[in-house]
Structure 1
Amino acid sequence: MTAVLPEVAVPVPASTARRIAVRERAALAVLLAGTAVLYLWNLSISGWANGFYSAAVQAGASDWTAMLFGSSDAANAITVDKTPAALWLMDISVRLFGLHPWSVLLPQALEGIAAVGFLYVAVRRAAGPGAALLAGAILALTPAAALIFRFNNPDALLVLLLVVGAYCVQRACEPGSSRWWMVAVGVAAGFAFLAKMLQAFLVLPAFAAAYLICAAAPLRTRLWRLVGGIVALVLSGGWYLLLVELWPSASRPYIGGSQHDSIIELALGYNGLGRLTGDEVGGLGNMNHDVGWGRLLGSQMGTHIAWLLPAALICLGAGLVLTRRAPRTDATRAALILWGGWLVVTAVVFSYANGILHPYYTVALAPAIGACVGIGVSMLWQRRSDLRCATALAGTVLVTAVLAAVLLGRQAEWMPWLRAVVAVAGIGAAVLILVSGRLPRAVAGVAAALAVTACLAGPGAYAVATAASPHSGAIPSVGPGRGFGGGFGAGGGGPFDTPTPKPALTALLSAHADDYTWVAATVGSTNAAGYQLATGAPVMAVGGFNGTDPAPTLQEFQKLVSDKKIHYFIHAVMMGNWRSETSGSREAADIASWVQSHFTAVPVAGVTVYDLTAPHS
């Protein structure tokens, strides 16, 4: 392939420049408006979505301590198993607009729109408006993005902050840039850590490599500014850890997801290295059993993210070859190192991680895929008269169309005609692209439009179907009619599915609620969430999310019952043999056994309830 040649500035008449600017702004407006419709339309269709986080938002919107720590309930028994940055934005939304599904989900939709906008401006600086428009459209139409930006998991804020950080890296690499751009990178990464802990750091090797290799500054300056970014990261993410560790434990909730009431343990263990090794004390391990290079294309994750993954890798490789002789500070190569490093490192980690890894996590790959495809396609298209570039571009279209047909076939009963249309259009577009350097400009433009349509039709249709379907539970999935997270519980709910109590049970729990600190207690945070959202009163999540945290201990629970702090205990079935679970604490199992042996079980609306104010005589 040919190397990049120095660009020669060609004067452009002012009127032409204005028309171009108007067209660019119009295209960006259409992109953002379309994204807004996709992410905001009928947003409340999913109800409380992930009830685990919605209950925490309910608590945080009514109690400042619960908001600060991310408590599961307003009485501050235990926190969620993440740092609470994403919850803070939802708490603010609920405080402004009141508690209902729309106000809980609104921040994530706005974060998605903002992420598309920031990706556009980042890619535009490196490869122009056409590449930026394609990159933004790919992000917006990725099914995992259409899922997460309409859901209340913390991945939405994580993705936005990482895209902002990548944009700041690009600005930091430019000639004459301020040292404050690397500080901004650190701040964005630090707050991304407060959204989803160590997952935020997967992009840091790419950030550092792009800056050190390509920044237009002497090496010493680059090193000092990188140190400044690291300091900003530590301060912007570490202040919260320090605050929680120094706060007296007796006056704050227990740190959910840890075994020793420690947010440092949570960050480094359950939400840190344990996700890589599978050694997560109190965790449930990786339930996908699909570790390996094919995981991202497999049955669990493929329809979430794989649609343009091979295309991104082809475009990344082609772009790096094309820029191999460019100056060290070339902006396009810097962007390729940045976004390509993000893509490769995150993809490898996701493919081989042995701990808990849900398919929707792959939304973190979507911005990098969009950027690599946008930049690479733009470069190859500009050089399409070179047969090698045309062949790479045609191969990208062909591979993408074939993969889309395969992924669509995994739910063959849904729009079966689309597979054939994508395959035929993709093959036809690939042939036209191969000879596009010899075609008239107008015909080549039609070929390009056909290629883009063929490549985006599959993920776009799947993204629309995802947005049109309700999603609930802790593990939502993309696609038509596949929005529910699947629970393992019965009657009292399960670890991945928030129960919806019937009116009789809600009325029972709500009666005399003001007389108790917690109207009820039950094992597992998602179980507790359902009853809390229904009653509007605190419900204690015994054992935290998985029921494996030692909070409260049996002795502490007995004291609370003796002091008339808890009214009812609700039986819950947790996943697998949680009573004999060796990973994590047995306190929840011991509490449940103690309740069953000392209080009378009463069936209420299909759920077993124990009145903790009336022990056996």
Structure 2
Amino acid sequence: MAEASTTHPQAEPEHPREQQEPKRFSVHGPRLALFGILVLAVLMDFYRLGQDGFGSYYPPAVRSMVDNWHNFFFAAYDPGGFTSLDKPPVGFWFQVLSAKIFGLNTVSVLLPQALAGVLSVFLLYYLVRRHFGVVAGLIAALALAISPISVVTNRNATIDSTLTLCLLLGAWAVMRAAETGRLRWLLLTAVIVGIGFNIKMLEAYLVVPAFGLLYLLAAPTSIRKRVLHLALALLVLLVVSCSWVLAVDLTPASQRPYVGNTQDDSELSLALGYNGIGRLLGLGRGKLIQGNGGSAQPSNGSSTPPAKSAGGPGATGGPRAPGPLRLFAQQPLAGQTGWQLPLAILGLVALAWQGRPRPREDRHVHSLLLWGMWLLTMGIFFSVAGFIHEYYLTVMAPAIAALCGIGLVVMWRDYRGGGWRGWLLPAALLLTAAEQIVLLASYPTWGKFLIPLLTIPCLLAAGMLISARIASLRTGKAKAVRLLLPALVVGLIALVFAPIVWAALPILQGTESDLPLAGPARGGNGAGLAVQGAGGTTTGEQAFQNGGLVVSPGGQATADPALVRYLEEHQGHAHVLVATDVNADALILATNRPVMPLSGFSSYPLTASEAASLVASGTVRFFLLTSGGGGPHEGGPSSVTSWVAQHCAIVSPSLWQSPLPSPPAAVSAQLGTTILYDCATLRR
């Protein structure tokens, strides 16, 4: 005992400075690194937020929901509560809350999504760190913070960023459920995913296979209890998911908005059809789905019919060719998440081949099941889906980022330990660099300087790793880790340049759009309110007026002040400001008055007989409609347009159009002519 007491103090002070410094670094270093990553995330998500407006389709609904609890609950698109959005309301409730606090403006509408993006980065760090340590968590957080599609979506009015944060909260809950086997954590997971359904419908269910498999294989309870718990969780999931949908569908049609983008006025039909199987099979791609001419009544219970908006996000566009290589090579889709995909896949391989999996004993296997199944399920769906938009991949980004962080830590450990798995690290560097070169090859202007910046450091890093490994195998001596780790870091830094550039380009170039898309602008910036019917936003060398819109040289469009002034001065006792098939978005934002949209995603299926009744009752006086061109009616007049043209007077354009140039000939040919009709004479 005496010897032990005398020798122990002598062994400690040999290198006191070296022992204290790592301890200080272990406390402060990761915190500083995490702080830096979060600052980067804030910079990417908040810098110049709202510079190009806040989009066209969803903000009018936010304005409509701010002042009216009825519109708030039913996600009404227009202030009159005539039609609803083509999405559930929960994601937009955060935007409404922000608008209530800060006023309705571009920043307040976009703020919830930007905050969700930053919170997702922090939450992913926490989730990965729990099982694989600080370094893996930091790498995963960095990968998500610079993910191009995540950045551009975090800065947009779409609610995919809110859904992503919701699903990460679900991942936290299901991890606790799998670790403890307690039912309450699993039921909380079901509630969270159910809330996700009320943000983006069936897209939230893409994580259900990962969550269910994790609990089924890993929870420390009997198989009978696990199956029973999963059955109860499924029941809770369905109840929470369908609560709002059934509340809407069970409400009489005369007391709620018409369900936008449906033919049968049903939220359940919208969830399972257009927002469900329609995405998988590609139904409705490239065209606006019109109503069936039903006779639903507006939400105020009167005989006043609702309005249709001039197009929502993405009447056209989106990936066109499903296939196994879509996420790797099809542009611009691959340029949203493909930069880190090979690294994530090889990280998954490294994690999977660590020996016989013991999911109930090894917490590392929990991450394999969770993130691996998350990536696999979404990768398959987004590869085969017939109609998706690029920003849908936002929900896939956390799995890619998590597997990048986990995979690098596991592959570095395997590299140092020997065995065949040690070759995965240099292979991951080379394959990820090769994928980025393939992506950059489609953009020669950017590739000519980004490709060398990427290739040279990665080749040097991979070359050093391979050479050191071959030398160690021949000589049996340990590899010089102090030299190889900096080389690996240099290679990894080279791999983040292109994703950062792709994420930053829309911000720096001012080309952020309704449809979030990272990378260089492709044929116009698509910013602000698009001139619908022309296949996207139109641009020119000077501002011009068309169809009640004033279109700036940059492509942003706002309601023509002359039109707004004329309609407000002559509306009289009519409940609806105007019924239109071209620009309900702009008019709602400019006036906050009931506007009846007759085309687009939130369109009301008005019939000619209903139009006659509404005019006769004094509910509607003005119709702003297109004739000719390839507009909302695909080149042919609807029955409503025909009736209005026969029975209502044409208002001289000089009375309601600003004295600006007409649009370019190509635009006019596509959009046709916009006519303002005054139907007041029918009520005399």
Structure 1 residue 183, shift from structure 2 partner = 1.5
Is there any run of 5+ residues in structure 1 with no aligned partner, and where? 1-11
What is the aligned partner in structure 1 of residue 466 from structure 2?
Answer: 434
Q: Which residue of the partner structure matches residue 64 of structure 2? A: 59
Structure 1 equivalent of residue 643 of structure 2 = 594
**Farther off after superposition, 388-397 or 186-195:** 388-397
1:463 is aligned to 2:503: yes
The answer as to whether partners of 1:599 and 1:616 remain within 8 angstroms in 2 is: no
Instruction: State the TM-score, normalizing by the size of structure 1.
Output: 0.89
AA in 2 matched with 1:362: L
Structure showing greater radius of gyration is 2
Distance in structure 2 (CA, Å) of the matches to 1:127 and 1:273: 37
Give, in whole Å, the separation in 2 of the partners of 1:161 and 1:513. 44
Match in the other structure for 1:249: 253
CA–CA distance in 2 between the matches of 1:590 and 1:186?
47
SS in 2 for 1:569: strand
Deviation sequence 1:536-562 (CA, Å, 0-9, x none):
323221244175xx6233333332222
Tell whether the 8 Å contact from 1:462 to 1:480 is kept in structure 2 after alignment.
Answer: yes
1:510 matched to 2:515? The reply is no
**Aligned twin of 1:535:** 591
* Equivalences for residues 540-559 of structure 1 within 5 A: 540-545=596-601, 551-559=605-613
Structure 2 SS opposite 1:46: coil
Match among 509, 533, 541 for residue 489 of structure 1: 533
Q: How far apart, in 2, do the equivalents of 1:487 and 1:414 lie?
A: 30
CA distance in 1, matches of 2:508, 2:561: 28
1:214-613 superposed matches below 5 A: 214-280=218-284, 282=289, 288-297=319-328, 298-326=330-358, 328-354=360-386, 356-385=387-416, 386=418, 388-414=420-446, 416-435=448-467, 438-471=478-511, 474-482=514-522, 483-484=525-526, 488-489=532-533, 491-492=546-547, 499-511=557-569, 515-523=573-581, 527-545=583-601, 551-572=605-626, 578-579=632-633, 589-601=638-650, 602-603=652-653, 604-605=657-658, 607-613=674-680
Distance in 2, matches of 1:399 and 1:456, equals 14
Preserved contact between residue 270 and residue 282 of structure 1 (Cα < 8 Å): no
Q: Deviation at 1:108?
A: 0.4
Relative distance call for 1:68 and 1:398 in structure 2 (3 A) is same
Q: Distance in 1 between matches of 2:517 and 2:457?
A: 28
CA displacement at 1:575 relative to structure 2: 9.5
CA distance in 1, matches of 2:628, 2:148: 30
Look up the SS of the partner of 2:259 in the other structure. Answer: coil
What is the identity percentage for the equivalent residue pairs of Structure 1 and Structure 2?
Answer: 31
Q: C-alpha deviations, 1:122-180, integer Å up to 9, x for none?
A: 11112111111111111111111111000011211111111111222222221x35432
Given the alignment, which residue of 26, 33, 42 partners 1:27?
33
Tell me the distance in 1 between the aligned counterparts of 2:233 and 2:361: 20
Structure 2 counterparts to residues 29-44 of structure 1, below 5 A: 29-44=35-50
Give the secondary-structure state (helix, strand or coil) at the position aligned to 1:231: helix
Unpaired segments of 5 or more residues in structure 2? 1-17, 291-314, 470-477, 535-545, 550-554, 663-673
CA distance in 2, matches of 1:426, 1:197: 41
| Deviation by residue 1:261-303 (Cα, 9 ceiling, x = unmatched) | 1111111111111111234593879864312112223013011
Distance 2:422 2:351 in 1: 13
- Matches of 2:413 and 2:589 in 1, distance apart? 55
Find the aligned partners of 2:556 and 2:130 in 1 and give their Cα distance: 45
Which segment drifts farther, 366-375 or 423-432? 423-432
Residue type of the alignment partner of 1:551: P
Given residue 289 of structure 2, which amino acid in structure 1 is its aligned partner? G
User: Counterpart amino acid of 1:563?
Assistant: S
Question: Structure 1 residues 323 and 62, CA, compared in 2 at 3 Å: closer, same or farther?
Answer: farther
Please say if residues 505 and 520 of structure 2, whose CA atoms lie closer than 8 Å, have aligned partners that are also in contact.
yes
1:55 Cα deviation after fit: 0.5
**Contact 1:600 / 1:611 at 8 angstroms: preserved in 2?**
yes
Q: CA distance change for structure 1 residues 364 and 573 in 2, over 3 Å: closer, same or farther?
A: farther
Paired residues, what number? Answer: 593
Q: String of CA shifts for 1:207-232, please: whole Å, max 9, x gaps.
A: 11111112233222322332332233
Bigger mean CA offset, 287-296 vs 206-215: 287-296
**Contact 2:599 2:632 (C-alpha < 8 Å) held by counterparts:** no
The change in CA–CA distance for 1:35 and 1:285 in structure 2 (over 3 A counts) is: closer
2:597 and 2:556 map into 1 onto residues whose CA distance is 12
Shift of 1:464: 1.7
Partner Cα separation in structure 2 for residue 460 and residue 216 of structure 1: 42
The CA deviation string for residues 488-525 of structure 1, in whole angstroms up to 9 with x for no partner, is 5363399xx9842332223223335574332112126x
Q: What code does the residue aligned with 2:36 have?
A: V
Q: Is the 1:393–1:434 contact (alpha carbons within 8 Å) kept by the matching residues of 2? A: no
1:183 aligns with 2:238: no
Partners of 2:351 and 2:410 within 8 A in 1: yes
Greater mean alpha carbon deviation, residues 296-305 or residues 219-228: 219-228
Corresponding residue SS for 1:570:
strand
Q: Which residue of 2 aligns with 1:162?
A: 167
CA contact (8 A) 2:616 2:683 kept: no
